[in-house]
Amino acid sequence: MRYPIGLLCFIALMCPSFSVAATTKTASVQAAAEGGKYTYVMFYKTNDSATKRMATEVSSHVAETGAKTTWVSVNVKDRKEAEIIKRFDASRMPLPAVFGVAPNGAITGVFRQKVNQEQLANAILTPRYAEMVESLQNQKIAIVCMMPAKEAKIPAGVTALANNPEFKGKLHHVRAYATDDQEREFFRRMKVDANITLPVVLMFAPPGNHLGTYNASVDGSDLAKRLHSSGKCNCSKCQKK
């Protein structure tokens, strides 16, 4: 499966400049990230009805979730915003479009031409979920350990995989704890019972392929075999085939 990202302020729709800022939108996104906020970046070309509808949805959502979200709008014709337009490759897609951007820079949702409140809400991820998405977008294999508590030990198979030289520099390990209320939604979306007593291991490959869910007794060699068979590990062994 693909990781579920289906997951991306008041209404100011009287003219194309929906959100007002003296600085570039790139700086606005960076400032929001430093404050721990998600940013919805909406790109548009003309102030048509589709653009107004999308802006209404985004601004309404941010009005309800302003403690953790903000938004900016970017006209792809605006040369001074070339940096953010290039970053999201916005000039090459159907517009309007809105991206959900986590504080760590992960893109947590891309919605083209229309968006609804549920989609925008789903673009808000837990901190560890956003970490997983960021690692996948950085072309890393994500090894996710869903832990019952902080004192629980990492499964030996995961440690063995981490020490496997074939995957050096290719893995990113994420730990989420059932005792952390912030991460309950991560457990739910990963379909892991938050009342676990033993760790559960999930493995994902870019761009978001679910390679498997395993119990705490999984062997490191089994994880390595699954990675090799997926064709996603990009290790030297598989490159020679």
pLDDT value at position 124?
Answer: 98
> How many Å from the N-terminal Cα to the C-terminal Cα in the chain?
26
pLDDT value at position 131?
Answer: 98
**Mean pLDDT within 72-97:** 96
| Percent of the chain surpassing pLDDT 70 | 87
* Strand arrangement, sheet containing 97-101: 69-75, 38-44, 97-101, 107-112
Which residues partner with 44 through β-bridges?
75
Q: Which residue is associated with the tokens 């673009």?
A: 123
pLDDT value at position 232?
Answer: 79
pLDDT value at position 238?
Answer: 61
pLDDT value at position 235?
Answer: 66
Query: Per DSSP, which regions of 68-227 are E strands?
Result: 69-75, 97-101, 107-112, 141-147, 171-177, 200-205, 209-215
pLDDT value at position 237?
Answer: 63
Reported as a pLDDT band with limits 50, 70 and 90, residue 18 is: very low
pLDDT value at position 13?
Answer: 24
**Mean pLDDT within 159-172:** 95
Domains of the chain in sequence order: 25-122 (3.40.30.10), 127-239 (3.40.30.10)
**Mean pLDDT within 61-69:** 96
**Mean pLDDT within 64-79:** 96
* C-alpha atoms less than 13 angstroms from C-alpha of 206 in its C-beta half-sphere: 13
pLDDT value at position 4?
Answer: 44
pLDDT value at position 231?
Answer: 85
Amino acid at 134: E
Question: Phi, psi (5° rounding) for residue 54?
Answer: -65, -45
Dihedral angle of Cα 56, 61, 64, 69, to the nearest 10 degrees: -120
**Mean pLDDT within 86-100:** 96
Rounded to an integer, what is the distance from CA 15 to the centroid of its chain?
31
The string of pLDDT tens digits covering residues 105-141 is 999 999 999 999 999 999 999 999 999 999 999 999 9
Predicted TM-score (pTM) of this structure: 0.86
